[in-house]
Amino acid sequence: MANTPEEKLDALTADEARAELERLGAEIAHHDALYHQQDAPEISDADYDALRRRYEALEALHPGLAPKDGPSARVGAAPSEKFAKVRHRAPMLSLGNAFSDGDVSEFVGRIRRFLNLKDDEPVAITAEPKIDGLSLSLRYEDGALVQAATRGDGTEGENVTTNARTIHDIPQVLKGEFPPVFEVRGEVYMSHADFEALNARQEAAGQKIFANPRNAAAGSLRQLDPAITAARPLRFFAYSWGEVSSLPADTQMGVVRAFADWGFQVNPLMERCDGVEDLLAHYRAIEAQRATLGYDIDGVVYKVDRLDWQARLGFVSRAPRWAIAHKFPAERATTILNAIDIQVGRTGSLTPVARLEPVTVGGVVVSNATLHNEDYIRGFGGDGLPIRGGTAEAPVDLRVGDTVTVQRAGDVIPQIVAVDISKRPPAAKPYQFPSTCPECGSHAVREDGEAVRRCTGGLICPAQAVERLKHFVSRGAFDIEGLGAKQVEAFWDKGWVREPADIFTLKARFGSQGSEIQRLSSTEGWGSKSAENLFAAIDERRVIPLDRLIYGLGIRHVGETSARLLARRYGDWENFEASMTAAADREGEAWATLLDIDGVGEILAGAVVEFFAESQNRTLLNNLLRQLEVQHMEAALSDSAVSGKTVVFTGTLEKMTRAEAKARAEALGAKVSGSVSKKTDIVVAGPGAGSKLKKAEELGVAVMTEDEWLALVSG
């Protein structure tokens, strides 16, 4: 590197300094891109640090000369858009929740039934604290740490390898005997003492104060500058694994013991329990120590100990059947309801929000709580029954000025669970729910049988239009990197993006450098490079899979799963659009075909058809489709021998339980039905099969034994 030595820096004239800052800035940006986006650095961390130090020294000598969007401004700005993505080789799952003792015995009962265990067969289940941090996957090859990735959406996370290497609890190399490939997973967290000391330092330096240890841990791990991570006291507990070439034991407990041998910290409170009583006793023991552990935990995780049973139990959507998180009860505090505001959602729903006198609940400052809808404010729950201890005749409503109890459970939005009527100010009046939209003034109507009042303004309502755009760019939809909710709002305010198609014409309107966007101040996160990056990210999404497009439209009731069902059924956009238009005739065939999709009911179907019947939506769609190439959609797991097939299991199965057979078949893309018809493709018949087998034979449906079926699905 041809750098002027450090001591000569102060000899530079202002012009020379400006030129040098520019040169260094470009060089740093170049290395940032290699490191964060391409994961292929050309220089060592030490050399990179030297570049940065030089830049900072020069900047300190000439305050005001450094470009506003230079490297110093970029540190800590929206790091999620700067880390390279890592696709997890085994998905990082979440856990189902248990909130009561009853939920725990149901969990154990489900396992026993699924595995078809005899009443006297014991099920060993481990119990360990649920650490309130963020999960991290560490890949070791031949015992050396090669990659660290955050959970992200479970499928794709962020590459934080350099940062993870600075964490003392994470071994760079494993000790003892280990398989050639092993992904250790666990939780990064911060202790209470370290958290308080960090916040004290942050405050003294005039820097951001963290709300809780979890946020501090996340913020510290996801730093662009590994030196910052290194200076933050992060810790790590190992408790799980991803891709492995082999396992060091055949039980959960055994693998965790191996983690300890390899040099990891494992939680000392993990225990192997037999049965529900034992689990609950250990849960209470952990709960009793919660306040003195020195780090945050939010429950106890139970896991079936035998790994062969874990494998048989498998997963339901994103969570394992063999594990569950038994959460600690929610935390509560008392405060004052200062105001009730109305927010307008993507589908026009008017949602009341409580503005509270800020109060700390379980370590987090709470100043808003959800109020759901007008009935909830009046004192009635979703089932129409009185809540907060009121009666149908004397409901307990909420009024501005009331003293209320707020409850917070984990990441759930805080709720108001009680009102102290004795403290109600005499002048407090019942809340009048608005009958017009506070954003656009259109009528807000509540349809029969609906709890929600909706603005009828459609896309003329700015709130609805913005919310739809936010949804359009959200993760399961177009997922445009660098264009999140915040940017959508800013672009809306400037009048740059008013409908989805506008996103794709930004570049043509602003030029490839995005000069207008650059003019947004750097405090809003835009530098010279980021406009170009944004255009690149937008261009990447001009080719879009049909299911993402359908989901992105933000049609009421159409979530990611139903969007996928629709996309699979109709295959391409032209067919989908034509079919939805034709389905407006509820007597016709298109409507019947739509309802025939397994998982599509009248409400969803009606919402889709209505969406297409709206001329405003058609205009938006036409504009948008001109910008896109929509990819066709294939049926799921089309490489599986049974995908798309309808299967019926009948008689006694000997190698697996019914539940297990069904789950496996569905995971391979088959549909499992309870009765045999012309639509049935395969009947798997065990001993004792009766009428269903007979019917299959009559209809000429393929019949196979359990062994033949197993050979087919594992082949």
**What residues act catalytically?**
130
Told to check if 131 binds ligand IVH by CB under 6 A, we report yes
Q: Is 125 in the site for ligand IVH (CB under 6 A)?
A: no
Q: Work out which of 325, 480, 520, 668 binds ligand IVH, going by CB under 6 A.
A: 325
Q: Looking at beta carbons, which residue is closest to ligand IVH?
A: 135
The piece of 7-15, 91-99, 209-217, 600-608 that touches ligand IVH (CB under 6 A) is 91-99
Shortest approach of ligand IVH to residue 22 CB, angstroms? 43
Could you tell me if 232 and 207 are in contact, meaning their C-beta atoms sit under 8 angstroms apart? no
Instruction: Select from 130-138, 570-578, 623-631, 636-644 the region that touches ligand IVH (CB under 6 A).
Output: 130-138
Tell me if 323 contacts ligand IVH by CB under 6 A.
yes
| Pairing assessment for the beta strands 415-419 and 181-189 based on DSSP bridges | unpaired
Using CB under 6 A, which of 24, 51, 93, 633 touches ligand IVH? 93
Minimum distance between the CB of residue 325 and ligand IVH, rounded to whole angstroms? 5
Q: Note whether 642 and 668 are within 8 A (CB).
A: yes
Is 661 one of the binding residues for ligand IVH (CB under 6 A)?
no
Strands (E), 485-604: 543-545
If you write DSSP's letter for every residue of 79-91 in order, what string do you get? GGGTSPEEE-SS-
Which structure tokens are listed for 491? Answer: 């672009």
Looking at the Cβ atoms of 303 and 564, the one nearer to ligand IVH is 303
Residues in region 243-302 near ligand IVH by CB under 6 A? 301
Judged by CB under 6 A, the residue of 32, 59, 81, 187 near ligand IVH is 187
Residue 669 phi/psi, 5-degree rounding, is: 95, 10
The yes or no reply on residue 126 touching ligand IVH (CB under 6 A) is no
Using CA atoms, how far residue 607 sits from 59, 68, 302, 659, in Å, is: 57, 48, 41, 33
Provide long-range contacts, Cβ within 8 A and 24+ apart, for 274-280: 274/122, 274/123, 274/124, 274/125, 275/108, 275/122, 275/123, 276/101, 276/104, 276/105, 276/108, 279/104, 279/108, 279/125, 279/127, 279/326, 280/101, 280/104
32: tokens are 């940032």
- Nearer Cβ to ligand IVH, position 130 or 470? 130
User: Per CB under 6 A, does 465 bind ligand IVH?
Assistant: no
Which one, 273 or 565, has the nearer CB to ligand IVH?
273
Please give the span between the terminal C-alpha atoms of the chain, in angstroms, as a whole number: 58
CB nearer to ligand IVH: pick between 297 and 609: 297
What is the spatial order of strands in the sheet that 134-141 belongs to? Answer: 144-150, 134-141, 181-189, 235-244
Q: Alpha-carbon distance 40 to 43, whole Å?
A: 9
* Residues in region 143-162 near ligand IVH by CB under 6 A: 151
227: number of Cβ within 10 Å: 15
- Radius of gyration over every alpha carbon of the chain, rounded to an integer in angstroms: 29
CB of 178 to ligand IVH, least distance (A): 20
Among 25, 114, 135, 213, binds ligand IVH (CB under 6 A): 135
CB of 327 to ligand IVH, least distance (A): 9
219 phi/psi in degrees, rounded to 5? -60, -35
The b-or-e profile of 398-416 (16+ CB within 10 A means b, else e) is bbebbbbbbbbbeeeebbb
Closer to ligand IVH by Cβ: residue 31 or 151: 151
Site for ligand IVH in 199-228 (CB under 6 A): none
Examine residue 128 and tell whether it contacts ligand IVH (CB under 6 A).
yes
Select from 93-101, 462-470, 472-480, 703-711 the region that touches ligand IVH (CB under 6 A). 93-101
By rule CB under 6 A, what count of residues binds ligand IVH?
Answer: 15
CA angle 305, 308, 310 (to 5 degrees): 60
Contact set with ligand IVH (CB under 6 A):
93-95, 128, 130-131, 135, 151, 187, 239-240, 301, 320, 323, 325
